Amino acid sequence: IWNEFSKEESTDEATIQKSFIRHATKTLARSSYNMDQFAAYQATAHSVRDHLIDRWNATQHCHSVKDPKRVYYMSLEFLIGRTLDNALLNLNLKDHYKRAIGGIGFTIEDLVDEEVDAALGNGGLGRLAACFMDSLATLDYPAWGYGIRYEYGIFQQKLVDGYQTEYPDYWLTFGNPWEIQRLDVSYDVRFRGYVEKYVDVSGQTRYRWEGGEKVVAVANDYPIPGFQTKNCINIRLWSSKPKKEFDFASFNEGNYDKSVEEQKAAENITSVLYPNDNHMVGKVLRLKQQYFFVSATLQDIIRRFKKTSRPWSEFPQQVSIQLNDTHPTLSIVELQRILIDEEGLTWDEAWDIVTHTYSYTNHTVLPEALEKWAVPLISDLLPRHMMIIFELNLYFLQRVEKLFPGDRDRLRRMSVIEEGHPQYVRMAHLAAIGSHHVNGVAELHSELVKTTIFADFVEFFGKEKFVNVTNGVTPRRWLHQANPGLSTLISEKLGGTAWLKDLSQLDKIKAFADDVGFQNRFMDIKYKNKIRLAEYVKDVTGVTLSPDALFDVQCKRLHEYKRQHMNIFGVIHRYEKLKSMSKAELEKVVPRVVIFAGKAAPGYYTAKLIIKLITSVANVVNADPQTSEYLKLIFIPNYNVSVAEILIPASDLSQHISTAGTEASGTSNMKFVLNGGLILGTVDGANIEIGEEVGKDNIFFFGALTAEVEDIRHHQMYHNVAMDAKLQGVIKSIQSGRYGDSVIFEPLLGTLRSDYYLLSKDFTPYLEAMERVDAAFKNKSAWAKKCITAAASMGKFSSDRSIQDYAKRIWKITPVPTTEEF
Ligand code: 26Y
């Protein structure tokens, strides 16, 4: 009976409609006269979810029978976005549902638009985790994602008087059809308490962590279907619950507040995603989140490992754990603790297992983003862990001392503990010591990792431990789903959709780069995408855009190192130049639409001022009839994955202009080029590798090189260097009050005095690069050829390639396709 009824439902129109109506009436308790568009979305989602669950179960069954080595991707962030459209495409059900839903009187595109984003991440790091899950599923790897089910995702950004204001993102208001709560999968997590020393039966001195308070972690599963495979993997997101629902003693004493206090405190742990991107803030609750996540995840992994009763020594052959930055690094300490305190292994046996299990990805070398936690804070919250950290640091420094006798400064530099009042734990050192591999996310960045923050560690461990895995993006979401027009054209030319699982095949599209017919079709798709974006912009800002203009986009988190301020200064320069032009001169100008989008961390004052400057300039520029044909300036509010899906396919040019050496990789740069746009960028992060692939004629590079940056800074600091004349002009214009009361911008302009990010040095080269862009855009056919060649050169930047890199070189895992019998 089980086999008979658990088979995956068929996908003919009538069955889909039946399933839709069953969910509408039985799951949602709706009726035909009470079905709005949102309810229709929910019913569709539940119906699609049934297919996911079937495949998920089959995959789990297959993996438990075959018991392969698994990889666990631990990340505090998963920036998933919407699921419905992506699931339909990956399951190859889009057309079936389109027809079936159409038959019921709804349009699938409308329903897709009803879904709220799952925005459990800040930016690049979180979105990378989501792309990696798509690739792991598509390539049939036995993998799990582990994370936190925040009730509030990244805040919603609204503009009030041109300033960013933040609103809570309570994304679960109307339920979430994509998650499956597993009340049967839950673990206790301890905080605080004390450490007891005792002698065990064999006379060994041992420690146990006792007392304190406990909260419960409950699993919530998010199925991730692969593209054109039966495999469907899982992201397990933990939510916190109180251990005891209610303190009856306090309640009976009439102390109502106290009786719910603990409950509230427990639930608080997974309440909100911290909105800082590349900037460390040492909040206790954040540390609690990290340990809560780490503890629950390890208990789950160990439970699965123990099912097959293998000896502990086989753990590293069965389990590979990837740390997405240092945020889950306590996991290293926690595994050591479990092995010595609970499983009775010796320190050395345990440490050998730990260091063959973990690997760590570094996403930044910026000092302000490197995690360090105050020792007193960890001691209070996790007393046993603090002991273990000191102990492993001691053993580590003893090894360093042996190799480099008497080198006190080296010991200080390499120590896990930063001395001071208070002392701090350097999480990156802990992660590097506890891992068998450390990787950076693009060639340049991986070099910087080896020569800056981990230079001493390379000398100590050898360079083989430090590797590069260049980031990638999933072509399923970022081309097939976001740009169906282009995806269809490519499939037509390549004779099928196989390229979506092997992006290197895109190369064959280069053959059409000179074909005028193909160029026209390619650019017509771009044009339609620009119309789609213009409609969206009209909707959210009221501004009308011409799709004939060059669409120039910079969308990413706001950060001084990403230099959105250089972009807006450039816009001001362009605007003032337009104002000084004669009619005849104006007629030769390439019309331009400059679009910004991105969130600033709520406490990042300068970043918020940059937004205010952009919106202030936009108010002036967009209201100026003299220039309106030639320049429009837009700030799209609340940038998220869904906005990116509209924005990226519509860009002619995108800007990735970080000071050289600061942007570890960047991943939107890859998405833009894949969608037939060109990059204006610095010689930084993955821009460099994109340049190598597309060729120097198909990317606009400018600016100081990484190797020059330090000298330039030094020079600026000690030699009274004058600011670039054109930049001075821009500053003067802002100070004239032309864009509103200039006093508010003084703190932003003040940053240019020390100019850490080299805006002055790069400003003229930046403007010159812009002129090259304008000149190139005038020749339509040549521009089309550049875009086609560039897009067709992007094979390397599929996250499938990144994942295969990790799987073969770091995780040592092989694919396990779920076969028919499961
Ligand atoms: C310490 C904590 C507050 C923190 C939270 C989030 C620190 C960093 C982050 C996020 C970092 C991040 O998103 N980094 C980006 O990772 C991308 C994927 O590797 C890179 O492409 C991008 O260059 C890098 O900035």
Q: Catalytic residues, which ones?
A: 363, 556-557, 562, 667, 671
Which segments of the chain have a pLDDT < 70?
245-246
- For 33-62, give the DSSP string: GG--HHHHHHHHHHHHHHHHHHHHHHHHHH
Residue 661 Cβ < 6 Å to ligand 1: no
Residue 352 burial (C-beta neighbours within 10 Å; 0-12, 13-18, 19+): middle
Q: Give the mutation target among 279, 364, 468, 803 for probing the ligand 1 site: most ligand atoms within 8 A of CB.
A: 364
Closest CA relative to residue 744, chosen from 734, 754, 752: 734
3-state secondary structure 552-607: EEEECCCCHHHCHHHHHHHHHHHHHHHHCCCHHHHCCCCCEEEEEECCCCCCCHHH
Q: Which amino acid is at 790?
A: A
Residue 324 Cβ < 6 Å to ligand 1: no
Structure tokens at 713: 């800074």
| Rounded Cα–Cα distance for residues 572 and 763 (Å) | 12
**What Å distances lie between residue 67 and 319, 320, 727, CA to CA?**
11, 14, 62
pLDDT for residue 254: 80
Residue 492 burial (C-beta neighbours within 10 Å; 0-12, 13-18, 19+): exposed
Residue 286 Cβ < 6 Å to ligand 1: no
What tens digit of pLDDT does each residue of 93-103 get? 999 999 999 99
| Rounded Cα–Cα distance for residues 422 and 409 (Å) | 20
Helix segments in 443-515, DSSP class H: 443-451, 455-461, 475, 484-494
| Rounded Cα–Cα distance for residues 649 and 94 (Å) | 20
- For the chain, the maximum distance between any two Cα atoms, rounded to a whole number of angstroms, is 95
Instruction: For residue 198, give the H/E element and its range.
Output: strand 194-199
pLDDT for residue 249: 76
Q: Which amino acid is at 519?
A: Q
Distance, C-alpha 147 to centroid of its chain? 13
| Rounded Cα–Cα distance for residues 294 and 430 (Å) | 15
Domain 475-493+502-797: give its CATH code. Answer: 3.40.50.2000
Separation of CA 364 and ligand 1 centre (Å):
7
What tens digit of pLDDT does each residue of 381-436 get? 999 999 999 999 999 999 999 999 999 999 999 999 999 999 999 999 999 999 99
pTM for the full predicted model: 0.98
| Rounded Cα–Cα distance for residues 128 and 362 (Å) | 13
Q: Which residue, by CA, sits nearest to atom 11 of ligand 1?
A: 278
Residue 689 Cβ < 6 Å to ligand 1: no
CB-CB contact of 131 with 796 (8 Å): no
Structure tokens at 278: 């590349």
pLDDT for residue 353: 99
pLDDT for residue 248: 73
Q: Is 677 helix (H, G, I), strand (E, B) or coil?
A: coil
Predicted ipTM? 0.98
Q: Give the mutation target among 73, 131, 150, 277 for probing the ligand 1 site: most ligand atoms within 8 A of CB.
A: 277
Unique residue bearing structure tokens 């929910």 = 42
Q: Is 656 helix (H, G, I), strand (E, B) or coil?
A: strand
CB-CB contact of 484 with 529 (8 Å): no
How many CB atoms are located within 10 Å of the residue 645 CB? 19
Ligand 1 atom nearest to 441, measured from its CA: 19
Closest CA relative to residue 599, chosen from 544, 568, 643: 643
Separation of CA 604 and ligand 1 centre (Å):
16
Residues forming a β-bridge with 219: 182, 238
Residue 755 Cβ < 6 Å to ligand 1: no
Which residues neighbour 139 within 8 Å (Cβ) at sequence distance 6 or greater?
A: 226, 800, 803, 804, 807, 815
Residue 773 Cβ < 6 Å to ligand 1: no
pLDDT for residue 251: 75
Domain limits of the chain? 1-66+95-106, 67-82+117-470+807-811, 475-493+502-797
Unique residue bearing structure tokens 């939107």 = 668
Instruction: For residue 145, give the H/E element and its range.
Output: strand 143-148
One fold for 67-82+117-470+807-811 and 475-493+502-797: yes
Label the pairing between strands 205-210 and 194-199: antiparallel
Separation of CA 425 and ligand 1 centre (Å):
20
Residues 67-82+117-470+807-811: name the CATH superfamily: Glycogen Phosphorylase B; (3.40.50.2000)
Residue 471 Cβ < 6 Å to ligand 1: yes
